[in-house]
A and B are shown apart, each in its own frame.
Chain A
Amino acid sequence: MPLNDRKIISIILDERARVEERFPGYRDELINTISDIIEYERQHKVQGTTIQKKINDKCNAMARLLAQHRGHDVGAEE
């Protein structure tokens, strides 16, 4: 785990209020996504993971959630 994730996460949490609440709970989900991305970067620094794919997938999953909340048939578009 990172040296100071608690600090970074606390700052990121402070910034969530500035993001549009695209659906109820969007901000919390987004912060969890960012938290995971930071964790991926930490892992990548020491283990050399497939970071780009993991981040693409993470953003993709969040986008799918957003699209679902907007009532789009996500599966049909993929």
Chain B
Amino acid sequence: MKLLRAEFENFRLLRDLRLEFSTDPARKLTVIRAANESGKTTILNALQWALYGDAALPGKGEEFRLHPIDWDASVKRRVPIVATVEFEVTKYRRSALGTRETRRRYRIVRTAFEEVDGRTSRRAHSEVKLYALNDTGVTPIEPPEAIINDELPPDLREVFFTDGDRALSFIEADVAVSTKRDRVQRAIRALLGLSVIEDAIYHVKKSSAEVNKQARAIGGGSDLNRIASRLETIDEDIAGLEGDLDDAKQQFEAFDEKVNETDRTIAATLRKGDKEKLQRDLEAAKRKIKQLDAQLEAAGKEHAALFRGRALATDLLAPVLDEAFGKLEALHDQGKIPSTTIPVLENRLSLNVCICGETLDPADAEGHRRRHHIERVIAESKRADAIQEMITDLYYGAKTLRPLGANTWLDEYKKVVASRDGLQDMRNDAGKEFRALEVQLDALPDTDIQGLREVLRDYKDQRDRFLSKKSTIQTQLGNLQRERQGLVQERDRLLREQKKGARVLAEAEVTQDVITVLQRAYDRITKEELAKVSDQMNANFLEMIGADPQQGAIIRRAEISPEFDILVYGPEERKLNPDRDLNGASRRALTLAFILALTKISEVEAPNVIDTPLGMTSGFVKRSILRTAVRESAQLVLFLTHDEIAGCEDIIDQAAGTVCTITNPAHYPKMLVNNPGVTERKALRCECNHRSECPLCQRRSDVRAELEMAS
């Protein structure tokens, strides 16, 4: 199918717009140049609406306004909205002379009415008509969907009509793996014709079953009848088991995906932190803090006790005490301390014998003299007695105040302070650790890891159950198919022996031959053609992003797996996640590479209509995407901004058969140089190509606009 032209009336910004598309095989590119907010996406939506109806509109058309936003309802409340698309279909048919090609042209016209009432509007159901265009005029085709759904199946809408900014549905992150896989699979199956072949096999198998019934009828009560009956049962069992196998496969894949998803959730949560472990750590940190607080309290008491002890006093009074002790020692040396002389002397007097052994007898003259001297010393001593007694007490009593060594208290103080400071540091660290754990816990999503692990175990059990079931069914199917093969041979042998069996035998052989050819074609398409799409996608992708595996590029290759996953590999076959590991330009390139590969390998003649395919790209990648898209498409329609075109003019020179420019008059005076003279919001078309401009489309360059704004 090729798009020829399109015409839109009152479709949002497209009040009356006509577009022509290039159909020249040598110049298959059509470029519609338009700045942002000039109607590019609206044209993409309008084309899809024309072909597929409301289902193709954003949000399936729910609350999606079709009429122009500045429609003057006071003049006319009922707005007719019309989208017309003309297209050409090439048909191929096998005949005795080979494959014959014919071309037919059609016009599809979709119409809707919206009743505008103030700010609200109501849309009447849209109507679609399809006409075959021929030399004699137009012929209505009923139903119109028959042609459209056959040529451009709705399942493949995203393949043919692509919004560059959203061209990621086959690889995007925010959908389940199964959804992406399903989208890729549906696109491949539809474009490669797998579903049609599958349906054909199903129906021919039913024909074959009918043939078997005829064989049973011929056989009467004989072996032929018994074998045909058994074959019937086997076919029923095989059909049932095939259904069960499909179901088991789907269930296995569903649980496998759930296992992987849950695994990823657990891993992602654990990367952020294991909540239970964090809670345990938090409790331990709490206990540690309590213990350290107790130790700190004890250290504080020890510290306080230091200031209440004698050691502090003796250390502080050491200079004074030293002086005092000096004086007391001197007194002691003078014999004034201790004051024990008097009782000793009085005792000696009473004994009349001196300590030295001389007599103190008063009768003896010398004794009398000595006695007199001692009595005078006693009298003098008694005079100084009160002071002496005090000094003596002081001398002996203060001995405990003498410091045991130098700086005793200070040493003790330093020891206690060091211990307390060490504890305080540990307490501070424990507090910080506790707070950090609290912050980590607060930041954690409310995920129950233990619960998730239980769910994971359950999913794994279920997955294993369906794997086992799958295996059992496959074995049963293998056995039944082997038995069937033997019975078919036996049945055919018996049919040959029957007079009436020749025709039934011929039918059995024909249906079997048809099934064999279709099944082989199906297997080939599944294996070989899928591999070709994968290889082509890889070649497109590497070319688009300029990755050369020989030159050590990070992206080494891309492939479509047998499970229909689009995978990208880096060095040493490491899998890259297209969502996370590829930049925006590469993700866009990968999606476009897949779409282009699929259309090319399926040999489908269908347009690729892409809105802003070169956004987020620049330089080599931009030019390369454009070159590859032109080369791989049957018909390529690109909606490009001026920035996307910049640097690619020479490629467009060579490849484009049609280029036009769309301008939004509302951009005057900020972005347009001249006043288009149109008051209403509408897309205006001019014939300017990617290198030219006219008074209608002439735009202010950023520099000129800034200069004017500055002045």
Give me the interface of A with B, judged by CB distance under 8 Å.
1-9, 11-12, 14-16, 18-20, 22, 28, 30-35, 37-39, 41-42, 44-47, 51-52, 55-56, 59-60, 62-64, 66-67, 70, 72, 74, 77-78
Contacts and interface: CB of A to CB of B under 8 A. Distances in A.
B516 A66 contact: no
A30 B197 contact: no
B503 A72 contact: yes
A19 B509 CA distance: 11
B196 A38 contact: yes
Contacts of B606: 3
Contacts of A38: 193, 196-197, 200
Task: List the 6 closest pairs (A to B, CB-CB), nearest first.
Answer: A1-B91, A63-B507, A63-B506, A66-B506, A46-B146, A6-B92
A72 B502 contact: yes
A74 B503 contact: yes
Contacts of B509: 22, 63, 66
Contacts of A51: 203
A59 B511 contact: yes
A78 B514 CA distance: 22
B197 A3 contact: no
Interface string B186-223: 00001111001101100110110010000000000000
Residue of B89, B203, B529, B602 most packed against chain A (CB within 10 A): B203
Nearest to B502: A72
Contacts of B96: 28
Interface in B7-35: none
A59 B204 contact: yes
B74 interface: no
Main secondary structure of the interface of B (DSSP, over half): helix
Interface stretch (B147-155, B262-270, B430-438): B147-155
Contacts of A45: 149-150, 196, 199
Contacts of B529: 11
Contacts of B517: 12, 15-16, 18-19, 30-31, 34
Given A34-B518, A37-B200, A37-B204, A7 B193 contact: yes
Contact of B602 (A4, A42, A63): A4
Given A3-B604, A66-B506, A46 B200 contact: no
B642 interface: no
Given A19-B517, A63-B507, A70-B502, A2 B196 contact: yes
Contacts of B91: 1
A49 B153 CA distance: 18
Contact of B203 (A2, A47, A55): A55
Given A18-B516, A19-B516, A59-B510, A11 B521 contact: yes
A34 B193 contact: no
19 contacts: A3-B150, A3-B190, A3-B193, A5-B92, A6-B99, A7-B603, A9-B99, A11-B525, A12-B517, A15-B521, A38-B193, A41-B199, A44-B199, A46-B145, A46-B146, A55-B204, A59-B510, A60-B507, A77-B503
B503 A67 contact: yes
A2 to B, nearest CB: 7
A77 to B, nearest CB: 5
Contacts of A15: 517, 520-521, 524
A20 B159 CA distance: 40
B87 to A, nearest CB: 13
B513 interface: yes
A64 B210 contact: no
Contacts of A18: 516-517, 520
B402 interface: no
Nearest to A16: B517
Interface string B603-618: 1101000000000000
Contacts of A66: 506, 509-510
A11 B514 contact: no
Contacts of A77: 500, 502-503
Contact of B150 (A42, A56, A59, A70): A42
Given A7-B603, A72-B502, A30 B514 contact: yes
B203 A7 contact: no
B519 to A, nearest CB: 9
Contacts of B149: 45-46
Contacts of B604: 3-4
Contact of A62 (B145, B510, B603): B510
Nearest to B198: A41
A11 B196 CA distance: 14
Contacts of B150: 1-3, 42, 45-46
Interface string B412-428: 00000000000000000
B528 to A, nearest CB: 9
Interface string B497-541: 000101100110111011011101100110001000000000000
Given A15-B520, A15-B524, A63-B510, A8 B502 contact: no
